Amino acid sequence: MSKTFTVLSYVLFFTPFILICNFLFNIVPLERIQGMPVFLPLLFCPIGIFFALRAYKTRKRAISFIGAIVNVLLFLFPIMYMIIGTALFGV
């Protein structure tokens, strides 16, 4: 069960991460979901944090702990993106 929670944690991290990379570098143009990749971590990452901490609680593995850390960092991305964007560009 611990491995399943760890894998879910990483899936919930990589899904918005890939969409954010696509949003920033415009690898594949996605007109219909314009700003949504920036806000997806606010939905996905708390669930990923829950799964990672649950897996870490079951078995004390570093990979589960790293999964929680990367989900927290990705959760903070939209907040920092807006703060830095407002501070630098004033929009």
Task: State pLDDT tens for residues 3-25.
Answer: 999 999 999 999 999 999 998 89
Provide the residue type at 69 as one letter.
I
Percentage of the chain beyond pLDDT 70 is: 99
The pLDDT assigned to 44 comes to 95
pLDDT above 90 (res 29): no
Distance CA 73, CA 66 (A): 11
Q: Is 0.85 surpassed by the pTM of this model?
A: yes
Distance CA 34, CA 29 (A): 9
Predicted confidence band of residue 89 (pLDDT cuts 50, 70, 90):
confident
